[in-house]
Amino acid sequence: MAKRQFGSDSRADQLKEDLRHLSDTVEELVNATSKDASGEMSDLRARAESRLKKARAQLEARGERLYEDTRETLSDQVDCCDRYVRENPWSSIGIGTAVGVLVGMLLGRR
């Protein structure tokens, strides 16, 4: 499983925004040239529409895969934590108590 680097979320958001702008620009170009009846322009418009649809489908598929992978990973981690708590209840209570005391002390200083 690949680990995400810090800052990759902002790069992913920037990439999504750039692709959205590109998609909008291509759609505007296709719509603006729809009145031009020349064969070459029609061919270019058809290829642009085809590539745009293909890119959107690929991005949607990649997003679905990423969602499913993340969901599976989180589910595995939740199962692991649940199993640990069930196998070691007193350790879990001690850890929870220690975290509670630490958070209480930090909030009490404010």
- The Cα–Cα gap between 45 and 55 comes to 15
Confidence at residue 36, expressed as pLDDT on a 0 to 100 scale:
65
Polymer length in residues for the chain = 110
- Range picked from 29-38, 44-53, 82-91 for highest mean pLDDT: 82-91
Residues 33, 39, 45, 49, Cα dihedral to 10°: 140
Q: Which residue has the tokens 């958001």?
A: 13
CA 35 to chain centre: 38
Instruction: Report pLDDT digits (tens) over 62-98.
Output: 888 888 889 999 999 999 999 999 999 999 899 999 9
Average pLDDT over residues 49-58: 80
The pLDDT-based confidence of 28 (bands split at 50, 70, 90) is confident
